[in-house]
Structure 1
Amino acid sequence: MKTKHEQILDYIETLPVGAKLSVRVIAKELEVSEGTAYRAIKEAENKGLVSTIKRVGTVRIEAKTGENIENLTFDEIVKVIEGEVHGGRNGLKKTLTKFVIGAMTEEAMLRYITEESLMIIGNREEAQQLSLENGAAVLITGGFLPSETVIRLADEKELPLISTSYDTFTVGTMINRAMTDQLIKKEIIRIQNIYTPIEQTQYLGKGDTVYAYRMLNQKSQHSRFPVVFADDRLAGIVTAKDVVGKDDATVIEKVMTKNPAYAKKHMSVASVAHTMIWDGLEVMPVVGDDMTLIGVVSRQDIMKSMQSVQKQPQAGDTMADQISQLITEKEENIFSFSVTPQTTDSMGTISFGVLSEVITEATYNYLSKHKKKNLVVEQMTLHYFNMIQLGNELIVKPRVIDENRRSARLDVEIYSEKYLAAKALVVCQIIQKR
């Protein structure tokens, strides 16, 4: 049976988009306390089911899906540039491989036109026809519209013919950003892409016996199995170590580990991999928001997914990648970083997020190179003493305060223009290289 909290969430999902709701109304409608209603509405807001609008109140909204764009199609490009499709609608699902700006003669354009590419061009009908005839879709900028002849050709070739009010430079920038974002997303693999559904795996009920575990273990590739309640919610996990020396008739509930680590579908593979390595887990249960078991993810699944990422031919640079490229080791254990326009906020000073990433990268480089260790930053306390302006060169000096086998604490000093500008205390989890 569902809890009152879950019942409220289900009720909110049934409300039409635009409907108003309040703590008092929910509490009265479902006969729950106002405290329970408030907590459920807050979780619904975190899930993107509702939104609180000033002077309006809490309103049911359309939940945004976290769908990853595996292929950047022409249909996606139309949304990015707020364009209008005039012809070739049958080709909107085709994948965009590259775009070309047609600021050249028709003869020169032929060298750059390829199939599944996009020619960005102005009000030049001959160039538009040439692109379509050679397999490229056409995007007309500047608010110009295509002729009927070009529209018929686009329909015949099943190549999208799109127009937008933006200028060529703006459109090129928008599409380039979309392609970069898509490449970055391809690297962020989530558990929903790799886990084994419950129908294809094995698990036990808390009322099963140790004998049932041993029979299951004989035909499985791993020795860890989730344990569920009667309503399929995760109750625990049982391993070979738990049943050693136990009688066959012993009930699983008495030997299982309660409150085990678990994963959810939206989690990244990298974060789950870290937990599995840290705790030495070969299998982790995957659960829904109501803690219902929906599958498992194994260390083998994790390894396969990470290998597939390495095989990808291209990847977009994240902000962390760009910061990593800008950091240099000036002297032993001392790192430098120059503040560029892209790393500043609206005040012209280095943004808090960028400075945090600079400290993280310097800390990683320090421990990785000199201590031969990998790390994950677990906690950071950062204090500013002086403003760090655009164009300043930062000197970052990490120093280990204390360290053990699994963690380390570092004091990091950041100097700008020879003055101490900031200081951070960083706590890291350490993973030994094997």
Structure 2
Amino acid sequence: MATKHDLILNHIESLPVGERISVRRIAKDLSVSEGTAYRAIKDAETIGLVSTIQRVGTIRIERKLKKNIEKLTFGEVVRIIEGDVLGGSEGLDKSLNKFVIGAMTESAMERYITPGSLMIVGNREGVQKLALTEGAAVLITGGFETTDEISQLADELALPVLRTTYDTFTVATMINRALSDQLIKKDIMLVSDIYVPLDKAIYLHGSDCVKEFQRLSEETRHSRFPVVNRNQRLIGIVTAKDIIGKNDHQLIEKIMTKDPIYVKRTMSVASVSHQMIWDGLEVMPVVEDDLTLSGIVSRQDVMKAMQMVQRQPQIADTISDQIAGEVITVEDEQEGKQNEDYSYHFVVTPQMVNSVGTISFGVLSEIISNVAQRTMVANQRRNILIEQINLHYLRLIQLESDLEIRPRVLEIGRRSAKLDIEVFLENTIVAKALVVCQVMERA
């Protein structure tokens, strides 16, 4: 039987795109409390059924697949520019392909306007009308109004006319930044990208017996299974260790481990990897907010995903990528040294300093982290997750300092490692760090 939460989500999904949604209306139409309606609407926003836009409200949008996350919608543009909608609100869920700045004559700009683009313009009504008729949305800068004719045309064509108080240059910069941010988000791998969905997952019911566990274990070679009740909600985990010495007809719910560790589809693979390595978990259940089992994720799949992410090129640079790009590897070719002995150089640029002109503590921490990862890959062919960095600033590091970073592996085990990393300036030590990390599978 579907819960009230599920009924509300199904109701929202049945609404036409562009329909406005309110907590009070949902509560009244479906005879539920406003608290239940609010939680369901927030969940609908998380899974992409609705979008809440400032000065517009919550509206039903077309559900977007993750593969299109690099595309900004016009509704998201409204939020980014802190603007409002003057017409064509039904088209807010459409994607922005490119933006055009209306700084030329109407006849000259016709060739640049394409369907799905966004015309950024001031109070030039002719350009606004031209853009709409050519299939483009309109963004009016400077806080100017538009005419009733333009608003009506926007409603008819379902193409948004937006307004912001920012100038054209600022708006273009904000949209460019948002596009870059979306590309970075696209690169972050989530559990939803790698988990085994429920229809392919192996699990047990609390009413099953030990004999059923043994049968599944022999078939799959797995030694750990999630346990659900008759409503498909997660109630425990049963492992090979739990069934030792138990009768074949013993119920699983009597011997399972209750309140197991679980993950959700929206969690990053990196965070799940951290927990699986640290706790030595082979399999983790993936659940919905109400603990309904939606699938499983295995340690093997997580490790493969993490290694693939570290090898693939970045589409857009994060701050971490920008810092890492400045760290140069220098192989030590002195007599008696092995090929695995490396040092690293880093020049402190103006973007990397704080208000008094010395290297930012966060930047130095990122350098240490990057050097630790490179060292483990070069020497041990291992990928790592940083667990802890104890960083000591011994002397101030000024702008344009040419730093040499010398790492040394202190100890390495099956699941963890420690590194000592020293930072030198003109052969004088200026910083020192002890790095504790978790070790992943061999690359």
SS in 2 for 1:350: coil
Give the structure 2 partner of residue 325 of structure 1.
325
Give the one of 404, 423, 427 matched to 2:436: 427
Q: 1:302 to 1:375 in 2, by over 3 A?
A: closer
Distance in 1 (alpha carbons) for counterparts of 2:254 and 2:90: 61
Contact 1:392–1:417 (8 Å) recurs in 2 = no
Amino acid at match of 1:428: C
Give the Å deviation of 1:80: 1.4
Give the one of 334, 337, 340 matched to 2:343: 334
| TM-score, normalised with respect to structure 2 | 0.69
- Answering whether residue 72 of structure 2 is matched by residue 72 of structure 1, we say yes
Amino acid at match of 2:390: T
Distance in 2 (alpha carbons) for counterparts of 1:407 and 1:205: 36
Give the one of 339, 356, 370 matched to 1:361: 370
Contact 1:373–1:430 (8 Å) recurs in 2 = yes
Amino acid at match of 1:433: R
Amino acid at match of 1:158: A
SS in 2 for 1:263: coil
Q: Deviations over 1:370-392 (max 9, x none)?
A: 33222221221111122233433
Contact 2:224–2:237 (8 Å) recurs in 1 = no
Give the structure 2 partner of residue 165 of structure 1.
165
- Answering whether residue 372 of structure 2 is matched by residue 372 of structure 1, we say no
Return 253-262 or 358-367, whichever deviates more. Answer: 253-262
Contiguous gaps of at least 5 residues in structure 2 = 1-22, 24-38, 49-63, 333-341
- Answering whether residue 125 of structure 2 is matched by residue 116 of structure 1, we say no
- Answering whether residue 88 of structure 2 is matched by residue 88 of structure 1, we say yes
Give the structure 1 partner of residue 32 of structure 2.
none
Q: 1:205 to 1:94 in 2, by over 3 A?
A: closer
Q: Deviations over 1:352-378 (max 9, x none)?
A: 322211111111122212332222212
Q: 1:188 to 1:117 in 2, by over 3 A?
A: same
Distance in 2 (alpha carbons) for counterparts of 1:430 and 1:235: 28
Contact 1:285–1:293 (8 Å) recurs in 2 = no
Contact 1:78–1:162 (8 Å) recurs in 2 = yes
Contact 1:102–1:119 (8 Å) recurs in 2 = yes
Contact 1:131–1:138 (8 Å) recurs in 2 = yes
- Answering whether residue 411 of structure 2 is matched by residue 402 of structure 1, we say yes
Q: CA RMSD in A?
A: 4.2
Amino acid at match of 2:186: K
Return 228-237 or 138-147, whichever deviates more. Answer: 228-237
Distance in 1 (alpha carbons) for counterparts of 2:407 and 2:255: 46
Return 192-201 or 154-163, whichever deviates more. Answer: 192-201
Distance in 1 (alpha carbons) for counterparts of 2:433 and 2:110: 56
Q: Deviations over 1:188-230 (max 9, x none)?
A: 3433676567688554456742113245557879653124689
Q: Deviations over 1:139-188 (max 9, x none)?
A: 12122233444434433432211121101111112112222222222233
Distance in 2 (alpha carbons) for counterparts of 1:66 and 1:344: 37
Amino acid at match of 1:191: V
Give the structure 2 partner of residue 298 of structure 1.
297
| TM-score, normalised with respect to structure 1 | 0.70
SS in 2 for 1:173: helix
Contact 1:74–1:93 (8 Å) recurs in 2 = yes
* Fraction of identical pairs, as percent: 51
Give the structure 1 partner of residue 19 of structure 2.
none
- Answering whether residue 171 of structure 2 is matched by residue 185 of structure 1, we say no
Size of the aligned set, in residue pairs, is 372
